[in-house]
Structure 1
């Protein structure tokens, strides 16, 4: 069954003006779908009942009735989760004390991992893991906070001797993407799926014949238009999002899952390499003491 809250992660640029109004209203307050009949929601959003029904189908539901029912169930589950964690509200508020902030941030990040895991496509995970395992080289690109996730995957792949690269200089990244071809894998990471540089890097790599992978929170985004494979996170940032928080946590969870599958499929060779590199680092640290 489609997760109604995850289904709302549509790129506003990819919908009609009427659908964009619906998306803004529902995303801001999903309870209006539960509370309002389709005709009342149409009046509130200045559109028609037919448009709302088509929008629900676009999200993956048979119609508004199913979307309304599934959204009510999802909101009820979230409310139950908050109650179990002792939270009336999961968003961080300006007046929250430190203990409330600790509880809310922990809840948000744990929830992001849980929802991401529930939504992951196992076949797509294994397809990406197999591609990286056999790639002539793998380039991982991210900008800003997503660069942290790109670096993490790069470090993991290097630990098992995989030919992987991750650069922070955009000009060098453009050159690398433009010179990738068949047999190469290029992974672009962008929470929003709208980061211009990452979109351009994936476009260039794909044009050269490389296999491209997008890791994003928005499956219907400009980034995924240039991806052969898409890995999705399900994360919602709080209003106090200064930098990536839940989104970064969800990205790292996906990377850990992909890497684990790579190590599993590589057998003893990868595990031996992990052991050797761990021993080298441990020996280096011991000698420096």
Structure 2
């Protein structure tokens, strides 16, 4: 039986996020920070150029916090200290000025034209994809791909909008000949998780990381010895206690017209697509013919 663990703080020796990844990490982590740390995160995300020019004392005064809070926020964002965060902010500001890094998204207004709605949503979708790609830990992804490629069986758990993403992943895996099941019914998910063992894989998809109906089957699968994967927008959340591998998604800022269920879906779909393609590559000897057979079967229906 595996031992549970608490989500770890970023290691001081871990590589600091690149400037492009900084904006993504701020957006991902801000909701889980304390209010004082949120003020610091919001300030650096909203005005990277201005904050890059400030000393640690200056940023503390601007945000109404303390120097210690600024330093703690910098470390939680993945930087050894405030100096490293300032360098990243300067880099991000330079990218924004050159047009290579987009500014913060603009909320949709009730009076916006449909053309404006299309433009704003397209911008937010692109930003979510870029942020998720920048923040995705490829070592964790590689480990999850390896486990899924050799799995006897793969169970995927998700509720609501995340349940639709779970179904999308399982349909793809089935088309390359793998045994995969999507479970949106919490009772069915748990009763199936009990049947898992070493060599099986369980994947939980939950943006908040706190959905009990998704955490419980993952916990059971974890304790049964299956390899467990969490796809979540909150890398420090409860679901990661039972995850061998954590794949983090990013979302556009939530608004009245773009709630969490809508904004989280884009990043989740990118992650499951990356997972699927990696598995298909690893199993190409069998996945290739299986895909060809499914294409032929579908084409035959439309002749």
- What is the TM-score of this pair, normalised by structure 1? 0.85
**2:29 aligned residue (7, 10, 13):** 10
* 3-state SS in 2 of match to 1:218: coil
Structure 1 198/271 Cα, relative in aligned 2: closer, same or farther at 3 Å? same
Matches within 5 A, 1:104-119: 104-119=120-135
Does residue 292 of structure 2 align to residue 279 of structure 1?
no
Give the C-alpha shift of residue 269 in structure 1: 1.6
Give the C-alpha shift of residue 210 in structure 1: 1.0
Give the C-alpha shift of residue 112 in structure 1: 1.5
Deviates more, 1:143-152 or 1:259-268: 259-268
Matched residue, 1:124: 140
CA distance in 1, matches of 2:63, 2:260: 32
* 3-state SS in 2 of match to 1:214: strand
Matched residue, 1:38: 56
Does residue 273 of structure 2 align to residue 256 of structure 1?
yes
Matches within 5 A, 1:1-289: 1-2=16-17, 3-8=21-26, 9-10=28-29, 20-29=34-43, 30-31=45-46, 34-35=50-51, 37-43=55-61, 47-74=65-92, 77-78=95-96, 81=99, 90-239=106-255, 240-242=257-259, 244-286=261-303
CA distance in 1, matches of 2:93, 2:55: 17
* 3-state SS in 2 of match to 1:244: helix
* 3-state SS in 1 of match to 2:203: strand
Deviations 1:70-122 (A, max 9, x none): 235335535655998xx895332333221111111111112221222233233
CA distance in 1, matches of 2:106, 2:291: 39
Structure 1 68/165 Cα, relative in aligned 2: closer, same or farther at 3 Å? same
What is the total number of aligned residue pairs between the two structures?
A: 279
Give the C-alpha shift of residue 229 in structure 1: 0.5
Q: Is the 8 A contact 2:40 2:70 kept in 1?
A: no
Structure 1 82/98 Cα, relative in aligned 2: closer, same or farther at 3 Å? farther
Give the C-alpha shift of residue 224 in structure 1: 1.4
Deviations 1:211-233 (A, max 9, x none): 10011122222211211001122
Structure 2: stretches of 5+ with no match in the other structure:
1-15
Structure 1: stretches of 5+ with no match in the other structure:
none
CA distance in 2, matches of 1:133, 1:169: 25
Q: Is the 8 A contact 2:30 2:38 kept in 1?
A: no
Give the C-alpha shift of residue 27 in structure 1: 4.5
Structure 1 242/11 Cα, relative in aligned 2: closer, same or farther at 3 Å? closer
- What is the TM-score of this pair, normalised by structure 2? 0.81
* 3-state SS in 2 of match to 1:283: helix
Give the C-alpha shift of residue 32 in structure 1: 6.2
Deviates more, 1:269-278 or 1:245-254: 245-254
Q: Is the 8 A contact 1:192 1:217 kept in 2?
A: yes
Q: Is the 8 A contact 1:138 1:165 kept in 2?
A: yes
Give the C-alpha shift of residue 65 in structure 1: 2.8
Q: Is the 8 A contact 1:193 1:217 kept in 2?
A: yes
CA distance in 2, matches of 1:10, 1:107: 21
